[in-house]
Amino acid sequence: MGEGIGIAVASFYYGMKRKSSGENMGQLIGNKRGITLIEVVIAELLLTVGVLGLLFLMPSAWRLSGQSDYFGRATGILQEQLQAAEIQIMNPVLGVTTWNPTPPGTLYSNGQNVDLAGDLPFTVTTSSTALGANNWTVKVTVTWPGNAVGISESVIVSKQEYFRQ
């Protein structure tokens, strides 16, 4: 609101000055020189530096985006494997007394065991440790090409006898 008042006062002032001195309002606000060649070169230099800075950052942004995609896919596979192990152990109908995880295998992010265009093979390793008669620690590790460490998660699972029907 104060800005509108300031503009109104400035235009009233310049209007009064123009009437009194006979000058054009355009002469009071700007000059007649225009933009010099030095100003154009400096503007182009600043624009070039900004664009080159953005172009310099693009490869690292693409690389980080790809890594994030791999981590997201690996996390989905890891969660599916942990849930499958929990279901097998917790279900009393299956009669699991000693649980042996599946051997390491290759899974694809498409949810199938076949390689489709654009898929990345993920190696899944599952291990278990017996904690007692009906309790196990299940650890799942998912790795992929370019990341030998991968991600891993473990969960303690117990057989749920009270779900038996």
- DSSP string over 55-76: HHHHHHHHHHHHHHHHHHHHHH
Domains, the chain? 57-163 (3.30.1300)
pLDDT digits (tens, 9 = 90+) for 21-44: 545 555 555 556 677 889 899 999
pLDDT digits (tens, 9 = 90+) for 47-98: 999 999 999 999 999 888 888 888 998 999 899 888 888 888 877 766 666 6
pTM higher than the cut 0.75: no
> Three-state SS for 99?
coil
How many residues does this entry show for the chain? 165
For residues 90 and 159, the answer to whether their CB atoms sit within 8 Å is yes
Asked if pLDDT for residue 9 goes beyond 50, the answer is: no
Strand partners, 153: 140
**Per-residue confidence (pLDDT) for residue 47, from 0 to 100:** 95
**Per-residue confidence (pLDDT) for residue 133, from 0 to 100:** 77
